[in-house]
Amino acid sequence: MINPSDRPVVLVTGAARRIGAAIARALHAAGFDLALHCRSSRAELDALRGELEASRPGSTLDLQADLAHAEAAPVLVADTLRRFGRLDGLVNNASAFHPTPLGEITPQDWDALFAVNARAPLLLAQAAADALRGTRGAIVNLVDIYAERPLPGYSVYAMSKAALTAATLALAGELAPEVRVNGIAPGAVLWPESGKDETARADILARTPLARTGEPADIAGTVLWLLRDARFVTGQVIRVDGGRTLPI
């Protein structure tokens, strides 16, 4: 089925919950049609798609795949193009996150984190490149402030996000001038689902000049700006962190 409209189309990975769902809602409200990906959060993705379809029928596609498998990336892009006939944006939001204390790091830790956080976004960008060139589209990668200032006990995660930062800069050069590529490095927006003790939370907020956590809408709004409005911005990683990385 080809999209009968001229609405722009964006593929969002990890779209079912949390920041991914906020991005999906913001883009859909701005008039984008969406290919929504999840790995295992099928019920949440179905609910989100039902919500969006109720406001604009025929505007979404659901996709389920494990991005740890390299062959998933080109299939997601091909399915999106088959459904909509175009691709204007790619948001690499899906991420793997778990601790890797020094002395306990395994090759499996490395493979799991790098496969989802670094390899999958690169392979998705590669698969989407021709379609994005055709629409003069854009890519937004969700990086992390820990790519610059690694969180103790999470060295492999930080390294994988640093690799994604490097990919953002490399792709911005290689895909110019037709495709813009930028990144967003969130600070404390949502606490990890595994929990964070009150002392750790207080310490983070004490080092955040705006003295509060951010909202998923803060990230979603930045994604929308980068995709739609930032026509002369490429090769940038924007910190949306309440000032936490200020050198003060």
Whether 157 is a known active-site residue: answer yes
Class of domain 9-239: alpha beta
Q: Which ranges of the chain have pLDDT less than 50?
A: none
Query: By percentage, how much of the chain surpasses pLDDT 90?
Result: 83
Q: What is the pTM of this model?
A: 0.94
Structure confidence at residue 243 (pLDDT): 85
Domain spans of the chain? Answer: 9-239
Of 32, 84, 114, 157, which residue is the catalytic one?
A: 157
Question: 3-class SS at 199?
Answer: helix
Structure confidence at residue 194 (pLDDT): 61
CA-based nearest residue to 137, from 86, 180, 184? 180
User: Residue 181 carries which side chain, given as an amino acid letter?
Assistant: V
Can you tell me the distance from the alpha carbon of 18 to that of 112, in angstroms, rounded to the nearest whole number? 21
In this structure, what are the phi and psi dihedrals at residue 183, rounded to the nearest 5 degrees?
Answer: -130, 160
Can you tell me the distance from the alpha carbon of 8 to that of 75, in angstroms, rounded to the nearest whole number? 20
